[in-house]
């Protein structure tokens, strides 16, 4: 396991300011995390615990209220650093562009030469299994394929840190397993560091080298579990005995937090009534 620190999150908190009648919301932290270069790290936690906020702060899409984030030794705050790619849960493909043009979007905006654009897009589209659909529009593709388009769009930029915000959340269980295999292949081939946000215990346990279990809001890491999987792995790992142990341990840590989160939701709902 490589030990070099790729991104560092130090005592980060995020509080959303009061809006109208709503009081300020302490969404995250304090959180500390050292992401190792080339590792696959998954963050799991109950709904509304601040997982996506954590990802957005790490990406530079949100400024932390306190604490600091660094990526490759440079501070990240309020803008997305070069070398960071993000894939979102929502379908973020551009329906007015073909698969090819979707993938080429970032490169063209960056002024990369057309020959280089062509080479990188060809590689990414082929890698994501979209070669036969390069001229198709997203509306002609399934949800899983549209998410692949978004991954291809991120991949062409050759990010060194890939942040995945519940990218398979809207997909069915079987497609999620297959997409998990795709992401593992991508991770191995690119050598990038990957941070995955998910609410699925099995997904976290199957994909990650380390899984960070987050508390109910405000989200903090209550335990970080090393899975010990070999780098060469795929969704077949779900049949192994160790897989059940990891998911069981994760659930043990998260059960109480999920109940707390449900309690929060119930109190919020009662207050709204």
Residues in touch with another protein (CB under 8 A): 56, 59, 61, 79-80, 84-86, 88, 90-92, 94-96, 105-106, 109, 137-140
Minimum CB–partner distance for residue 169 and another protein (Å): 12
> Based on CB atoms, which residue is closest to another protein, 153 or 210?
153
Contact status, residue 44 vs residue 252, Cβ threshold 8 Å: no
> Based on CB atoms, which residue is closest to another protein, 30 or 143?
143
Q: How far is CA 56 from the centre of its chain?
A: 10
d(CA 192, CA 37): 8
> Based on CB atoms, which residue is closest to another protein, 109 or 113?
109
> Based on CB atoms, which residue is closest to another protein, 3 or 139?
139
Minimum CB–partner distance for residue 23 and another protein (Å): 22
CB-based burial of residue 95 (10 Å sphere; 0-12 exposed, 13-18 middle, 19+ buried)?
Answer: exposed
> Based on CB atoms, which residue is closest to another protein, 136 or 222?
136
> Based on CB atoms, which residue is closest to another protein, 38 or 60?
60
Contact status, residue 31 vs residue 219, Cβ threshold 8 Å: yes
d(CA 151, CA 159): 11
Minimum CB–partner distance for residue 84 and another protein (Å): 8
List C-alpha distances in Å: 2 to 6, 38, 85, 179, 188: 10, 7, 21, 25, 13
Minimum CB–partner distance for residue 140 and another protein (Å): 7
Per the listing, tokens 């999987």 go with 229
Minimum CB–partner distance for residue 250 and another protein (Å): 28
Minimum CB–partner distance for residue 227 and another protein (Å): 28
| Pick from 211, 169, 185, 203: nearest CA to 35 | 211
């Amino acid at each position: 396991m490589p030990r070099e620190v790729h991104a560092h999150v130090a005592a980060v908190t995020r509080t959303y300011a009061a809006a109208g009648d709503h009081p300020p919301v302490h969404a995250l932290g304090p959180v500390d995390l050292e992401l190792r270069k080339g590792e696959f790290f998954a963050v799991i936690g109950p709904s509304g615990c601040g997982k996506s906020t954590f990802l957005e702060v790490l990406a530079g899409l949100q400024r932390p209220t306190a604490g600091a984030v660094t990526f490759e030794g440079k501070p990240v705050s309020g803008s997305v650093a070069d070398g960071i790619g993000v894939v979102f849960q929502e379908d973020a493909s551009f329906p007015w562009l073909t698969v090819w043009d979707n993938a080429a979007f970032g490169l063209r905006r960056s002024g990369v030469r057309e020959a280089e654009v062509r080479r990188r897009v060809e590689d990414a589209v082929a890698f994501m299994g979209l070669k036969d659909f390069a001229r198709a529009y997203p509306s002609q593709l399934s949800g899983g394929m549209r998410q692949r388009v978004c991954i291809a769009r991120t991949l062409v930029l050759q990010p060194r840190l890939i942040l995945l915000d519940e990218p398979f959340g809207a997909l069915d269980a079987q497609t999620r397993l297959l997409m998990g295999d795709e992401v593992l292949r991508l991770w191995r081939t690119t050598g990038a560091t990957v941070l995955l946000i998910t609410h699925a215990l099995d997904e976290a346990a199957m994909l990650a080298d380390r899984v960070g279990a987050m508390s109910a809001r405000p989200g903090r890491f209550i335990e970080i579990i090393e899975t010990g999987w070999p780098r060469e792995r795929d969704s077949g790992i779900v049949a192994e005995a160790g897989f059940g142990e990891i998911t069981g341990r994760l659930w043990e840590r998260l059960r109480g937090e999920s109940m707390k989160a449900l309690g929060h939701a119930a109190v919020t709902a009662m207050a709204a009534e």
